[in-house]
Amino acid sequence: REVATPVAAGILIIAVVFLPLMTLQGLEGKFFVPVAMTIVFALASSLILSLTVIPVLSSFLFKKVQHDDPWLPRQALRLYSPILDFALRRQKLVFIVAGVMLALAVGVYTLVGKTFMPTMDEGDIIVGIEKLPSVSLEQTAELDLKIHQALMKGVPEITGVVARAGADEIGLDPMSLNQTDTFLVLKPR
């Protein structure tokens, strides 16, 4: 019972850190949302186990023994106590230092880029062409070729065409033969 609240609070804090990852969209979301969900579920499961099953098993496995603090925590307490006393005696100074550090963090935040995957102008346009689902591979190739030739003839800014039928741009989403991604390569500005 003594450790239930601190353990639950610690697990909750760690789980909350992963919540922003669950809001990602697009390619980033496909990469990171499953990872974040897995970690949060693992943390929740470990919390439930640590508060229910583990104490019962521990009571069977471990006998009561005399307890004294190990060497490392004693040394850490020896270092920590004077620092804590200093901070409690000079609370105003601690708050000023914390405020200055927060202001510096806000200042640095404004200088840092915030785009996870920046948009790039690669000098081309992607056009999606969708045909009837019953179309064959030969019909897809023939129709796509006609469209590409019409685009090349009608738009002088296009220098080349690259097409991919039945495969998406990123390689993560399923596409059938009736769908074509066409990349129109444009003349440099």
Tokens of 6: 């601190």
pLDDT at residue 14 is higher than 90: yes
pLDDT band at 117 (very low <50, low <70, confident <90, very high): low
Query: 125 forms bridges with which residues in the sheet?
Result: 184
Q: Rounded mean pLDDT of 107-113? A: 85
pLDDT at 172: 66
Distance CA 158, CA 167 (A): 22
What whole-number distance in Å separates Cα of residue 106 and Cα of residue 121?
30
Q: How far apart are CA 128 and CA 168, in angstroms?
A: 10
**pLDDT above 90 for 178:** no
pLDDT in tens, 34-74: 999 999 999 999 999 999 998 888 888 877 777 788 889 89
Range of weakest confidence among 14-28, 37-51, 94-108 = 14-28
Write down the mean pLDDT value for the chain.
87
Closest CA relative to residue 183, chosen from 112, 113, 120, 124: 124
The residue type at 63 = K
Q: What share of the chain is helix, strand, coil (3-state, %, to 5)?
A: 60, 10, 30
Burial of 180 (0-12, 13-18, 19+ CB in 10 A): buried
**Mean pLDDT on 119-132:** 81
Distance CA 183, CA 117 (A): 20
How far CA 118 is from CA of 22, 45, 61, 113, 114, in Å, comes to 19, 36, 55, 9, 9
At residue 63, the pLDDT reads 76
To the question of pTM greater than 0.75 for the whole model, the response is no
Domain spans of the chain, in order of start: 1-65, 68-118, 124-186
Burial annotation 55-83 (CB, 10 A radius, 16+ → b, else e): eeeeeeeeeeeeeeeeeeeeeeeeeeeee
User: Percentage of residues in the chain with pLDDT exceeding 70?
Assistant: 93
Instruction: Tell whether the model's pLDDT for residue 24 goes beyond 90.
Output: no
